[in-house]
Amino acid sequence: MFITIAKRSEVLVGGFKPAQVNGKRLLICRTAEGFYAIDDTCTHDDGPLADGWLDGTAIECPRHGARFDVTTGKVLCLPAAVPINAYPVKLEGDDVKVQLH
């Protein structure tokens, strides 16, 4: 089931927006390629990725510089070794919808 968690107009290209769904902290990221949803928690030290910055499809944690690919959740740079969760996104009109696992 997909859940609406943002409006397209709320997230500019190159930006992101934190959201909370059922107690889960998510981050909606918008790149030139589209919208992506990931956990808003760095797997290295549980810091919020929403305090970091987006560079293309890579998001960097401000605490220790771990980087993740927002399209897949894959680790791009240490000190993180465990990927973050990435979730399917669907657009309907102005709604950005996410399917949680």
61-97 pLDDT per residue, tens:
998 899 999 999 999 999 999 999 999 999 999 999 9
Q: Name the pTM for this structure.
A: 0.93
Please name the amino acid found at residue 59: I
Over 80: is that where the pLDDT of 15 sits?
A: yes
Which CATH number does the domain housing residue 81 bear?
A: 2.102.10.10
**Can you read off the two tokens belonging to residue 66?**
């771990």
pLDDT in the model for residue 80: 93
Domain hosting residue 68, numbered range: 2-99
Total domains, the chain: 1
Over 80: is that where the pLDDT of 101 sits?
A: no
Is the peptide bond preceding residue 79 cis, with omega within 30 degrees of 0? yes
Classify residue 61 as exposed, middle or buried by CB count within 10 Å of its CB (0-12, 13-18, 19+). buried
Classify residue 8 as exposed, middle or buried by CB count within 10 Å of its CB (0-12, 13-18, 19+). middle
Q: Which of 42, 36, 49, 50 is nearest to 88 (CA)?
A: 36
pLDDT in the model for residue 22: 85
